[in-house]
Amino acid sequence: MTTEPDGQVPRRNPINRALGGWQPAAVVMAANKLDFFTAIGEEAVTAEEVASRCGTPPRPTRVLLNACVALDILEKEGEVYRNSPEALQALVRGKSTFMGDGIAHQHDLWQAWGRLHEAVRNNRRVGERYNLTEVGDVHRNFILAMHDRARLDAPFLAETLDLTGRHQLFDAGGGPGTYSIYLVKRYPGLRAIVFDLPQTIEIAKEVIAEFGMSDLIATRAGDYFKDDFGQGNDVVLLSAILHSMSPERSRGLLAKAYDSLVSVGDVVVHEGLIDDEGTSPMRAVMFSLNMLVNTGEGQSYSGSEIMGLMEEVGFTNPRVVRLPEPARTSLVIATKP
């Protein structure tokens, strides 16, 4: 980018900037869905070989591989393609840094974004498939995407949220159970209950067993709109749950958390918060639209909105605690007196 004589960096046309992203994103999502990056792995491979490994026709395979080269995601030398260092780390299945499940989940969500205008016009979701547990692949992509994302944040969350001396954590809508796993590992004496829909609990059991934590983390299948949160909880965690629902329903879940907690127990909401204006940070603004197209009633919440809901159901001392970088999320914590 050139610098103006007065030293100011010229402003890039924001319309061009906004429109520049969807085609490159489609390239990565398509190549990920077709498993090109895993098919290449650590090797140097021709387009014909990738096509044969992925069961795709050679000509369009080459066109898509070339687009990945143009985006610097693959490297090309003569007729052979290699993964870039970043693709090797994030796009090849089997590594702990694999982001492909998350990209597959973005791909599922992306269909609805094409109808964003309809969601705004009708104030209704247009994503029919979001969180539909009967659509096996979509649901599994979603839950494993949560696991990929949570594995990055969970060590910071476990350091920030001091659960010393606590015994029972209830992880409502706990998904794959990732946060419970890291918290129970970090705090001796702590046990957790991961509560979620039956189809999710099946995946959570696999993940918890993979981490060797099945003795310390129980699972309970249910519906947080219909079932209670049990009794005797020291801590109720609601991680990435409230953003999918209206303030009224959020208040309902906070009230269930309150009823289930012992005195001086804490409710902990973990979210990527939006500012009070609703215009920053960019990821929270975009996420709010993601919730509009896919859930209709959900939104990114600000810290003050969540603290207000907590106080309405009787919690005291609400506070916002940011997780340290590189995590970009926050905890909103309040105490049952």
Nearest-angstrom CA–CA distance, 280 and 300 = 11
Confirm or reject binding of residue 225 to ligand SAM (CB under 6 A): yes
Query: According to CB under 6 A, which one of 32, 61, 141, 178 is a site residue for ligand SAM?
Result: 178
Neighbours of 283 (CB within 10 A): 13
Confirm or reject binding of residue 239 to ligand SAM (CB under 6 A): yes
Nearest-angstrom CA–CA distance, 74 and 66 = 8
Closer CB to ligand SAM, residue 40 or residue 298?
298
Query: According to CB under 6 A, which one of 100, 127, 175, 298 is a site residue for ligand SAM?
Result: 175
Work out whether strand 168-172 and strand 80-83 pair parallel, antiparallel, or are unpaired.
unpaired
Closer CB to ligand SAM, residue 35 or residue 271?
271
Confirm or reject binding of residue 283 to ligand SAM (CB under 6 A): no
- Judge contact between 185 and 225, C-beta under 8 A: no
Closer CB to ligand SAM, residue 127 or residue 175?
175
Query: According to CB under 6 A, which one of 100, 102, 174, 303 is a site residue for ligand SAM?
Result: 174
**b vs e for 24-43, b when ≥16 Cβ sit within 10 Å of the residue's Cβ?**
eeebbbebbebbbbbbbeee
Question: Taking CB under 6 A as the criterion, which residues in 123-142 touch ligand SAM?
Answer: 131
Q: What are phi and psi of 23, to 5 degrees?
A: -70, -50
Closer CB to ligand SAM, residue 58 or residue 252?
252
Nearest-angstrom CA–CA distance, 134 and 336 = 37
CB of 122 to ligand SAM, least distance (A): 23
Length of the chain: 337
Which amino acid, 256?
A: K
Query: According to CB under 6 A, which one of 223, 228, 276, 312 is a site residue for ligand SAM?
Result: 223
Confirm or reject binding of residue 296 to ligand SAM (CB under 6 A): no
Question: What is the contact surface with ligand SAM in residues (CB under 6 A)?
Answer: 131, 143, 146, 150, 173-175, 178, 196-197, 200, 223-225, 239-241
